[in-house]
Copies of this chain bind each other. A is one copy, B any other.
């Protein structure tokens, strides 16, 4: 039996969701946009409208403000580039983003830099919260009024849940629109998107299908299409609507109740307590107050052991978790989030994070902690690192004796064959 604890990467699709999608695979085939054609199209349109209403209601916005996309990556690219292209050739050129933003936001911004846009990153504190003073500073310091601020609502790596109302209030004081990356918090933390200007949500983290998400765009906000062609999606996104997935997405939203969140949070708290009881030498990443975290999220750095090795040992025992260790990333770089909260790379190697879901159980957690503690013991037994090692290392660092060589080569530019 496999135990899946990586629900912040993706989740199992609920069988009720699959059932809801089925008729749209085999019966209601027509694209909803062909609604002047035939009644298949009308049925499709009804389903599309109804899905849009469900999702809009969940974040307290108008259905016409919900634009369906192919998921988080498209929504974030659309938000950022859409604002840029709607303002190209104008005075305002600056984008502000949290330095713990998702790579789809940060990489979109990097792309924009090449076109002459300016990108400034907002610092976060050691728990991953936006530094309000730094935000205000960047909002007022900039030569131009920034075009957009982008911040995550819930952080996938360290679980931090930002107070969006407060951030929105600050941004709007300076008349700057706010984009919220709500992929990981959607349905898990209450979210009134009507106080912000753009919001990314997605389906596959709430037991919905992959390949579908949405961008909330406040009515009246000037934005350029990312995907041109056709009048679909309130004229903001071309292409045949992915109706089966959209219907599945809405079904997933519909059944993701507060009760589920409470049940999962309880499991998470149980995991946390058991972890603290059974394992020594670790440090929680992100907020330690559970009410400031995603309800399904637990993350730590474990000392003297490396994340990929832990992961693989667990995997051989059929337990699936995640790490922010450099060794397990294709770029061999430590997670930018762990760096942003000030964790030294030598510490972040021991990063381990767990995303629980309604399908997990206490028994799984008990087994997991048992395995994990024996794996840690095993790895520590063969590790030259320990408290003394780290003290000496810190001394050397403090004396400036450590030159941080980056011997990991960058594979970003190479194409596969």
Contacts and interface: CB of A to CB of B under 8 A. Distances in A.
A72 B37 contact: no
Nearest to A88: B115
Contact of A231 (B204, B239, B412): B412
A373 interface: no
A230 B108 CA distance: 10
A185 interface: no
A238 B226 CA distance: 14
Contacts of A229: 73, 76-77, 102-108
Contacts of A227: 73-74, 77, 104, 226
B26 A330 contact: no
Contact of A228 (B108, B239, B314): B108
Given A73-B229, A231-B412, A240 B10 contact: yes
A29 to B, nearest CB: 5
A74 B88 CA distance: 22
Contacts of A9: 30-31, 34, 37, 240
B245 A320 contact: no
23 contacts: A6-B29, A18-B25, A18-B26, A25-B209, A33-B330, A36-B328, A36-B330, A37-B315, A64-B416, A64-B417, A70-B211, A73-B229, A73-B237, A77-B226, A77-B228, A88-B115, A104-B230, A111-B225, A210-B243, A211-B211, A219-B415, A226-B227, A235-B413
Nearest to A108: B228
A241 interface: yes
Interface in A284-311: 308, 311
A40 interface: yes
A104 B228 contact: yes
Given A108-B229, A226-B226, 11 more contacts: A4-B40, A6-B38, A10-B29, A10-B30, A38-B321, A62-B417, A69-B70, A73-B238, A107-B228, A210-B240, A210-B241
B311 A38 contact: yes
A15 B323 CA distance: 38
Contacts of A322: 34, 37
A242 interface: yes
Contacts of A18: 22, 25-26
